[in-house]
């Protein structure tokens, strides 16, 4: 399948999307596959970019997502939140300001998180991997000015949020 592209046609930083409501995510992707979000400036919102399964029963996971080269500022919850997904790349983004986590990974398999700068996070961590996540490569991220942990692996996922069949927060 061909990917769906959400990108700045004129190049990095030429398109800014401002949240209409700080209680809603700026970009939400649910249960869709083959998505690329690239080179956007995203301001405000609950989550800057939120990617998650369709529904709540783990039958419509997200496959093949790339979130690259974006600037995400001032999310009240998470800058980038990816949950219930397979084959994910989160690369070369700037997350500047988040209330909880800069990048939050929940119940994700086969992911690379690299080259991101995460700063000014008021919550528990700059980058958080949990909820039965596995086969993660986390490398070359610059995490600074975070109230909690820079990188947090494992934690306190509620039972209903774990990837089915897993009994661990994160591994591999």
* Mean pLDDT score across all residues of the chain: 94
Residue keyed to tokens 């610059």? 142
State pLDDT tens for residues 21-41.
999 999 999 999 999 999 999
Q: Which of 28-42, 55-69, 80-94, 109-123 has the lowest mean pLDDT?
A: 55-69
CB within 8 Å of 116: residues ≥ 6 apart: 90, 91, 92, 93, 94, 95, 102, 103, 127, 141, 142
Quick one: pLDDT band at residue 168, thresholds 50, 70, 90?
Answer: confident
> For the whole model, what pTM was predicted?
0.94
Cα-Cα-Cα-Cα torsion 93, 114, 171, 4, nearest 10 degrees, comes to 60
Report whether 133 contacts 162 (CB < 8 A).
Answer: no
Report whether pLDDT(135) > 90.
yes
Tell how far CA 76 is from the center of its chain. 14
């Amino acid at each position: 399948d061909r990917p769906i592209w959400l990108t700045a046609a004129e190049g990095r930083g030429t398109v800014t999307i401002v949240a209409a409501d700080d209680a809603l995510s700026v970009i939400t992707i649910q249960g869709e596959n083959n998505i690329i979000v690239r080179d956007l400036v995203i301001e405000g919102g609950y989550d800057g970019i939120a990617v998650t399964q369709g529904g709540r029963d783990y039958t419509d996971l997200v496959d093949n997502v790339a979130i690259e080269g974006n600037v995400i500022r001032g999310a009240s919850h998470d800058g980038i939140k990816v949950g219930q997904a397979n084959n994910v790349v989160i690369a070369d983004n700037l997350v500047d300001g988040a209330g909880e986590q800069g990048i939050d990974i929940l119940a994700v398999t086969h992911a690379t998180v690299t080259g991101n700068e995460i700063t000014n996070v008021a919550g528990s961590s700059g980058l958080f991997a949990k909820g039965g996540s596995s086969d993660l490569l986390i490398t070359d991220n610059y995490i600074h000015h975070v109230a909690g942990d820079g990188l947090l692996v494992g934690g306190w996922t509620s039972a209903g949020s774990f990837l089915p069949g897993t009994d661990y927060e994160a591994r591999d």
